[in-house]
Structure 1
Amino acid sequence: MADEDMLSWDESIFRDEHVFEIDYVPEVFDHRDTQLETLTHALRPATRGARPLNVLATGPPGTGKTTAIQKVFGELDAQPGVRAVRVNCQVDSTRYAVFSRIFRALFDYEPPASGISFKKLFGQIAEKLTEEETVLVVALDDVNYLFYENEASETLYSLLRAHEAHPGTKIGVILVSSDLDLDIIEGLDSRVQSVFRPEEAYFPVYDTSEIVDILSNRIEVGFRPDVVPPDVLDEVAARTAETGDLRVGIDLLRRAGLNAEGRASKTIEHRDIEQTFDTARHVHLERHLEGLSDPERILLTVIAETDAEQAGAVYETFHEETDLGYTRYTEIVNKLDDLGLIEAEYESLEGRGRSRSLRLAYDPEAVLNRLG
């Protein structure tokens, strides 16, 4: 490689590396006009002091749902008399945790450390909203996690019927889910179904030309000129389209850029894509693992490390390590299955009736490496 193609020690090919991080909200947000219109239409009443319409936003992972919410909420929060709060249900997966997050957003400080009853916490939130004549819009992002913990109906009931216990309270709810196997409406109890009649916004997988557009914008803002040749961008877009998850392409660009810098190269080459794709394509796996509790991580480790596939044999090892009972074990198995981390299927065993087999949905080495 010629000297002019080499980076000096204090140079970088990045203009702004944050552009390639998952939480970055791009200035340009293309190919989601219909979905943004649905959200804007539903939330417009809030700007007039009225209760907004509720929304159900669904679609596969990496299709722009969270970014769309952040874009609309950025505009909504600038309006007088409106507060927009996004709750990451992967982190806050109980009703109390959701309302604690709302409390922090409204009051700018934590609820009392000693803990207060849910009724009191809820009451303080409702009181603040009515006193200040503020309309609250809550986005429950990754709401599927509330379903996995059997907390969805109680949480939604409290939000949607808040005006009954606290007259004058105006709350709108957006549910965001990437679990296409989960029927959100059917999963709610009848008390909630009777009041949750949402507008619907579906986010389809981006096609290859849309992926090229979006990644081109990120490249322009995030890298210095001419860092990513057109043929390399085409390869990144093709690999991203294979996974169906835009976040894979964004993460792949960041990792490939770091790889190129490690070689002191001023451009990203095909070998940088080759060397980093295996890590980037597991970005959704890493995201799921981040939100797991210690017992959930232990069970996943047991399944990854042992040849035993029958649920009973896996439970024995799990119980030895955690001292948890079979009921809790079954709940964790069901959650890991819902998340797509394992496949739990019932099989007929000759002479022994039906048994449940547990298998990893990913390469065991990939899982163990990321569990640390």
Structure 2
Amino acid sequence: MADDGDMLSWDESVFRDEGVFEVDYLPETFHHRDDQLDGLQYALRPAVRGSRPLNAMVRGPPGTGKTTAVQKLFGELDARRGVRAVRVNCQVDSTRYAVFSRLFEAIFEYEPPASGISFKSLFEQITDHLTDEGEVLVVCLDDVNYLFYEGEASETLYSLLRAHETHAGAKVGVILVSSDLDLDVIADLDNRVQSVFRPEEVYFPAYDESEIVDILRERVDRGFRNDVLGPRPLDLVAELTAETGDLRVGIDLLRRAGLHAEARGSRTVEIEDVESAYEKAKHVHLSRRLGELTDPERELLRVIADHDGERAGTVYEAFHDETDLGYTRYSELVNKLDQLDLVDASYTSVEGRGRSRELSLAHDADVILNRL
């Protein structure tokens, strides 16, 4: 047992600034992404000169710095006259109307009416403002894969990319960000969008373990008090983070390990704190994904948990009893959960009935149900 000199008092903390370990914290320095920043700056540079920027496609696994890079560059663009840079989180705003409502709010600094305003009116107010003020609009559709899951990607992009044709003088550039490496963005767009969308491609690879150590060490220096976390616990955090490929897991793990040390009354974070915290931190990405689901999607996961491995028709009957939704909507929900890697929907042969899908959870049922 530690002596009293190693124990925290009630009003002490191992943290200097706990906010450093929040997911939305924007670091002052951005390590190991110089090539990616250069690629994005190349695409965006025309906007600073009052011209329409190049479009860009940003891809890479989750937790590799894509959103952070966009936020840093958009912060610099917003400080310049004549440029309006808006990031839209498509996990939250996953329809064309929702995307343009977010653009409207960013431009006019108030939300459009919740009802009674058509998309055409919303679109024209935005483009009229751009032409009247001579502003260049740069739009980042972050997690654009969610627009594809909802079947809204082509219509949304078509409206943005053709804005200059319907409103002469409107200058709009688009950055798409996707963490779904199985999604072929260009191929999944309809032909009229493919003909005008020729993006610069910027890829964010997973960080290797040495890069993870560099990034997490800076968070440790800024977030923890001196000598709270030594090299061995940090190396373990980096090793566990590298296994998941998601830097956000490591950042969350540092915070949870610090909280675990505080709960023990310890002034230092030890190996045991990291190991205990990892059981929760390793599911941080899953928890975030589940938190973005709609009520019907959440209910479908619960039904599948009760009917794991059963045929889609059987699952639908139970789901219909719970929600009264039709089969078409049910099929759309199954496809989306499959694309999100929450559900495995595999086809099997059924004697005398051809091929049928069997549905099962892609993660342990208790892990998903506890986080729902």
User: Residue type of the partner of 1:93?
Assistant: S
Q: What are structure 1's unaligned runs of at least 5 residues?
A: none
Structure 1 contact 53–172 (Cα < 8 Å) conserved:
yes
Give the match for residue 89 of structure 2: 88
Task: Indicate conservation of the 8 Å contact 1:308/1:314, yes or no.
Answer: no
Match of 1:128 in 2: 129
Alpha-carbon displacement from aligned partner over 1:38-66 (angstroms, at most 9, x marks no partner) = 00111000000000000000001111100
Q: Distance in 2 between matches of 1:46 and 1:83?
A: 9
Deviation of the 1:284 alpha carbon:
1.0
Alignment of 1:103-252 (within 5 A): 103-252=104-253
Give distance in 2, aligned partners of 1:103 and 1:45. Answer: 23
Kept in 2, the 8 Å contact 1:260–1:268? The answer is yes
Give the match for residue 287 of structure 1.
288
One-letter amino acid of the counterpart of residue 353, structure 1:
G
Letter of the 2:144 partner, please give it. V
Matches within 5 A, 1:303-342: 303-342=304-343
Partner of 2:272: 271
Equivalent position of 1:34 in the other structure: 35
Q: What secondary structure is seen at the aligned counterpart in 2 of 1:264?
A: coil
Contact 1:341 1:361 in 2 (8 A): yes
Which residue matches 2:21? 20
Distance (whole Å) between structure 2 residues aligned to residue 231 and residue 93 of structure 1 = 42
Match of 1:78 in 2: 79
Q: CA deviation at 1:76?
A: 0.8
CA distance in 1, matches of 2:92, 2:172: 22
RMSD (Å) for aligned C-alpha atoms:
0.8
Kept after mapping to 1: 8 A contact 2:136/2:172: yes
1:356 — aligned with what? Answer: 357
Q: Counterpart of 1:18 in 2: which secondary structure?
A: helix
Per-residue CA deviation, residues 167-216 of structure 1 (Å, 9 max, x unaligned), is: 11000000000000000000101111111100010000000000000000
Q: Distance in 2 between matches of 1:149 and 1:61?
A: 20
Q: For 1:279 and 1:295, how far apart are their aligned partners in 2?
A: 26
Aligned residues: 371
- Given that 1:143 and 1:152 are in contact with CA atoms closer than 8 Å, whether structure 2 keeps it comes out as yes
Question: Partners of 2:43 and 2:354 in 1: how far apart?
Answer: 52
| 1:281-307 Cα distance to aligned partner (Å, 9 max, x none) | 111111111111110000001112334
Superposition TM-score, scaled by structure 2 size:
0.98
- Aligned partner of residue 36 in structure 2, secondary structure: helix
Deviates more, 1:71-80 or 1:351-360: 351-360
Residue 302, structure 1, aligned to residue 279, structure 2: no
Structure-2 separation of matches of 1:114 and 1:312: 37
CA distance in 2, matches of 1:119, 1:312: 40
Q: CA shift at 1:270, angstroms?
A: 1.2
Q: Tell me if the contact between 1:211 and 1:237 (Cα under 8 Å) persists in the aligned partners.
A: yes
My pick for the range that moved more, 285-294 or 233-242, is 285-294
Cα distance in 1 for residues equivalent to 2:274 and 2:201:
37
Deviation at 1:115, TM superposition (A): 3.4
Match of 1:99 in 2: 100
1:208-253 per-position Cα deviation (integer Å, ceiling 9, x unaligned):
0000000001111111111111000000000000011111100101
Percent same amino acid at aligned positions?
Answer: 71
CA distance in 2, matches of 1:249, 1:73: 25
Name the CA shift for 1:73/1:356 in 2 (closer, same or farther; >3 Å). same
Deviation at 1:308, TM superposition (A): 4.9
Relative distance call for 1:114 and 1:307 in structure 2 (3 A) is: closer
Seen in structure 2, the aligned counterparts of structure 1 residues 137 and 307 have a Cα distance that, compared at 3 Å, is closer
Q: Is the 8 A contact 2:94 2:147 kept in 1?
A: yes
TM-score relative to the length of structure 1? 0.98
**CA–CA distance in structure 1, aligned partners of residues 90 and 114 of structure 2:** 21
